[in-house]
Structure 1
């Protein structure tokens, strides 16, 4: 991996966290590590590099299938668009996010239109467009229960019927679309769900 390929500044590289099963950025000189690209990263190059080398389909077998709606946990995916007023205005593809909240909403509504029109699934769009590191897992957040997520996110996710995609959800992290999984499993190749 070269800095020309990744768009990272010299001495920075992409590594993989075994504990989180996600890539992160590491400076070999200073030993600094971070989840978001360092300042000076070329946003287009890192976005392309990460999509090619660090995106994987959500793997249902990587989660315990013992969880279900009965034990109070659900499984969902999301697509996050951050803006300059987000609590951390940076992401795996952009070291500094400068768009306004209105611009973020416009972008997310465009994604929502494509999802509802059947052009792409939320997971497929999340892989390249989500500002959350869960993009590498098609937006899959795994199982979570009450109190595990920000209040607005949790309320929206738990209010969804299995297989349903939310409208725009605002949190301190940015603006989201959320998809609740059916019976906690993906069932067919185009990432639509059935009971």
Structure 2
């Protein structure tokens, strides 16, 4: 069993897994509190390592034979970098995101360069660097159709061919790199 100190969480907090969303969340038994973002006082570097080791999908397997391979729905993954002006400036990695939009752009452009150079894949990088809870699933958002995502995200996603990755896409949530899977 991994100690909570290894996870970087404050005393009384633990990582649990949501059956309804199939994602990890944070729970404090004594206070009966649960939250998607890490509680204040979390050592985010320790948490990032812990989550990558204990709460990540080992791999994402395409499943074209599941009836979703239609033209009205696509499957994509993404890597999200939030900034202080994002509509919800917190994530599983940081309780309060304070970076500027310019700093977020610098970060995501560096991620894009690493991916395009072949050093890593979007999915591998998303596990530790994405501010979206889909990081646990290598950024995989599953299948979605028109009207399911923010307009800018949807437009960029539907323009991609399977296997292609977008350049930086800006939405109210932050800055994204999007890879179409199916």
TM-score, reference length from structure 1: 0.88
Are residue 159 (structure 1) and residue 150 (structure 2) matched?
no
Segments of 5+ residues of structure 1 without an aligned counterpart are 185-195
Q: CA deviation at 1:10?
A: 1.0
Partner of 1:97: 97
Name the counterpart of 2:53. 52
- Hey, what does 1:174 align to over in structure 2? 174
Q: How far apart are residue 93 of structure 1 and its match?
A: 1.3
Partner of 2:11: 10
Distance (whole Å) between structure 2 residues aligned to residue 134 and residue 120 of structure 1: 18
What secondary structure is seen at the aligned counterpart in 1 of 2:158?
A: helix
- CA deviations on 1:14-71 (whole Å, 9 max, x unpaired) are 000111111100111121111110111111111111011001122445x97211233x
Deviations 1:97-122 (A, max 9, x none): 11100000000000101111111111
Partner of 1:43: 44
CA distance in 1, matches of 2:61, 2:132: 17
* Pairing of 1:44-193 with structure 2 (within 5 A): 44-56=45-57, 57-60=59-62, 65-70=66-71, 72-181=72-181, 184=182
State the TM-score, normalizing by the size of structure 2: 0.94
Structure 2: any 5+ residue segments left out of the alignment? none
CA shift digits 1:59-90 (9 cap, x unpaired) = 445x97211233x0000000000111111111
Q: How many residues align?
A: 180
**Per the alignment, do residues 118 and 75 of structure 1 end up closer, same or farther by CA in structure 2, a change over 3 Å counting?**
same
The match for 1:23 is 24
Q: Distance in 1 between matches of 2:70 and 2:120?
A: 27
CA offset at residue 11 of structure 1?
1.0
Q: Secondary structure at the match of 2:66?
A: coil
